[in-house]
Amino acid sequence: MLATILHGAGDVRYEPVADPQILKPTDAIIKLAATCICGSDLWPYRGLQPTSGPAAMGHEYCGVLVEVGADVRTVRPGQFVVGSFCISDNTCPHCRFGFPSSCEQREFMSGAQAPFARVPLADGTLVPLAEMPPDDLIPSLLAASDVLGTGWYAAYAANVRPGATVAVVGDGAVGLMGVLAAKQMGAERIIIMSRHKARQDLALDYGATDIVSERAEAGVARIKELTRGIGVDGVLECVGTQESMRQAIQCARPGAMIGYVGVPHGVELDGQSLFFSQTGMLGGPAPVRRFLPRLIELVLQRKINPGKVFDQELPIADVAEGYRSMDARRAIKTLLRV
Amino acid sequence: MLATILHGAGDVRYEPVADPQILKPTDAIIKLAATCICGSDLWPYRGLQPTSGPAAMGHEYCGVLVEVGADVRTVRPGQFVVGSFCISDNTCPHCRFGFPSSCEQREFMSGAQAPFARVPLADGTLVPLAEMPPDDLIPSLLAASDVLGTGWYAAYAANVRPGATVAVVGDGAVGLMGVLAAKQMGAERIIIMSRHKARQDLALDYGATDIVSERAEAGVARIKELTRGIGVDGVLECVGTQESMRQAIQCARPGAMIGYVGVPHGVELDGQSLFFSQTGMLGGPAPVRRFLPRLIELVLQRKINPGKVFDQELPIADVAEGYRSMDARRAIKTLLRV
């Protein structure tokens, strides 16, 4: 088959590869209903993250199982499944503690920007649907696999409660999903930092109540002003730079939690500052598997529409154009038709 | 009157000062039932924290009010009161959010190592008792003012739940109170890092189930071994050094919270490491005022006995000997009779 391979910075190709196969009896092979490009794919694409040779890209997926290994018990061929970008057994102590993204057998999914993909630990990783979903819900189910689950975790880690005032730092797809999640968790006021019209509009659609287009100190000052000098009850930090983390910390009120889901690149935190600002922090790769059953239910009931975050759709053969669009911020998130 | 003044590193004196007076209409004057020396007093005593001239020491207190300012409404002369080391109005947004230790009008108490002291913002800061407490409960009520409240906050911030396995880093008075608090919050297994017999015994008395006497990497390895490689559900970090914070982080399981209450001195945290270890953090000056009514109730009902943490009692005139004892770790915590 053909699949998406990153050969180096800026060099992504849709090219022939071996068909995925069952390698372990706990594996499954999925025929993707659709796939997509993640903001985190841009780190290696931009050469900002070292790669060791050609890499099979793609970790967001949903679709129909075509084959399962001999030990797979809870899913079977023909079922429509959604899985997390973190492969997990769902039985180890870390999974049971609610953190499947730190599963003792954790792997990160790869090779999903393709028509077929191998999913390890199928029993633990995949959530089957009772029946085939309608086509128009495919983008939303695909979003649950990572971007929605990650935004959801940001809101969870930021301890968003009914009535809360929260800030979202980052207007990428994860930040926008964070807005959706905070709204679902009952936040009354959702402030997003954004200076892009299309992203602002989508944020408002997802439930944002305030847009802050100022950056850095001015952005923090604006959020302080919007909260009568108090700061926000929780922050969803969806970028991962020193600057975005500084903003998150500075606009948080004492006792607020910062849920940070952008992989930190060069972020250093000063213990004494955090102590005296009484800023709480919880981050990490999102334990999406924990949230998946709930997220799938919300999608199937049409209570949320995370699929709207895809503002570009391309045939997978044009995947390189998708990377270019997202890199240039011409697209928020690109869905690839397989 | 005479009071405790720190003149410089190692130089603490009990010497004549002006009697405390009502300076603002929201002040009160308290006649202390007892006072004590805090581990944090040792930072300036050891010259590890800059001081600007002679400092009136002491921030832990309970006793009878002798005078209140014209605007004080909720407490009156003759009442026995306990207050927090953080002065707070108990009405500002930060107080209402549960963080009176970041009150908009916050001050840190001082001058309590004396027979009388001025307490600012008396209405917000002080909790009155319905009647005079029995003498034998004075040490426990005094402990509520800071050391117990701080250990309690460490357990709260570490998200201690019934059945939890927790680690306590630091066997000082705060760490020991952390053991007591974790036990009260239902922790099933409480591991304390300690290599001092007297402190180990008191920890066991307060509910610790395991003692780890190894330090650094060996201590972490031992805790991992005790938890079958999983790590603990929450950590109470009660020291504040880079080394103690490293231990706390390394023995935490993914998703665990670290409640850190030792003022961090030179602690730097790497964002990416915390991200991938999925370690949550919440610290700061303890919002003791929030917990005080509950703590006082537990003491009056004799359900807890935090006063046992005082293993040295001296007349306040011998305060310098108290500092020497605590500095040399001959005493866990010194109560001063006034």
Q: What is the mean pLDDT of residues A65-81?
A: 98
Distance from C-alpha of A2 to C-alpha of A18, rounded to nearest angstrom: 8
- B328 pLDDT exceeds 80? yes
- Of the pLDDT bands very low, low, confident and very high (cuts 50, 70, 90), residue A49 is confident
Q: Which residues on B lie below 8 Å from A278 (Cβ)?
A: 99, 101-102, 282-285
B270 interaction partners in chain A (CB closer than 8 Å): 267-269
| Identity of the residue numbered B55 | A
Cα first-last separation, chain A: 11
Q: Distance between CA A100 and CA A286 in Å, rounded?
A: 8
Going by C-alpha positions, the residue among B242, B253, B247 that lies closest to residue B217 is: B247
Chain segment B136-190, per-residue pLDDT in tens: 999 999 999 999 999 999 999 999 999 999 999 999 999 999 999 999 999 999 9
Contacts with B263 from chain A: Cβ below 8 Å: 272, 275
Provide the pLDDT for residue B316.
98
A210 token code pair: 């305030």
| B274 interaction partners in chain A (CB closer than 8 Å) | 264, 269, 281, 283-284
**Structural domains in chain B?**
2-146+287-337 (3.90.180.10), 151-283 (3.40.50.720)
pLDDT in tens, B229-269: 999 999 999 999 999 999 999 999 999 999 999 999 999 99
Residue pair A222/A212 in contact (Cβ under 8 Å)? The answer is yes
Q: What average pLDDT does chain A have?
A: 97
Strand order in the sheet with B11-16: B11-16, B2-8, B55-56
Q: How far is CA B215 from the centre of its chain?
A: 23
CA atoms of B293 and A93, how far apart (whole Å): 37
For residues A74 and A88, is the Cβ–Cβ distance under 8 A?
A: no
Q: Is B224's pLDDT higher than 90?
A: yes
pLDDT digits (tens, 9 = 90+) for A219-268: 999 999 999 999 999 999 999 999 999 999 999 999 999 999 999 999 99
Secondary structure class of B21 (helix, strand, coil): coil
| Eight-state DSSP code of residue A328 | T
Q: Are the beta carbons of A251 and B244 closer than 8 angstroms?
A: no
User: Can you tell me the ipTM of this complex?
Assistant: 0.94
Cβ distance of A285 and B278 shorter than 8 Å: yes
- The interaxial angle of helices B173-184 and B197-206, nearest 10 deg, is 20
B263: nearest CB among A98, A254, A275: A275
Q: Do residue A271 and residue B264 have CB atoms under 8 angstroms apart? A: yes
pLDDT of residue B206: 98
**Which amino acid is present at A19?**
D
| Chain A positions in Cβ-Cβ contact with residue B93 (cut-off 8 Å) | 228, 230, 253
Contacts of B264 in chain A (CB under 8 A): 271-272, 274-275
Query: What does the pLDDT look like over B67-80, one tens digit per residue?
Result: 999 999 999 999 99
Q: Which residues contact A117 (CB under 8 A, 6 or more apart)?
A: A20, A29, A30, A32, A58, A61, A109, A111
Give the C-alpha separation, A29 to A112, whole Å.
Answer: 11
How many A×B Cβ pairs under 8 Å? 132
Quote the pLDDT of residue B278. 97
Q: Which of A264, A275, A287 sits opposite B272 (nearest CB)?
A: A264
Is the Cβ–Cβ distance between A335 and A36 less than 8 Å?
yes
**Average pLDDT in the A144-153 region?**
98
Interface list for chain B against chain A, based on CB atoms closer than 8 Å: 93-94, 97-99, 101-102, 157, 228, 230, 233, 240, 245, 253-255, 257, 260, 263-272, 274-278, 280-285, 287
What value does the mean pLDDT of chain B take?
Answer: 97
B337 forms beta bridges with: B315
- Give yes or no for residue A50 having a pLDDT over 90: no
Q: Helix, strand, coil shares of chain A as percentages rounded to 5?
A: 35, 25, 40
Query: Does the pLDDT value for residue B51 go beyond 80?
Result: no
- The pLDDT assigned to A52 comes to 83
Is 90 exceeded by the pLDDT of residue B48?
Answer: no
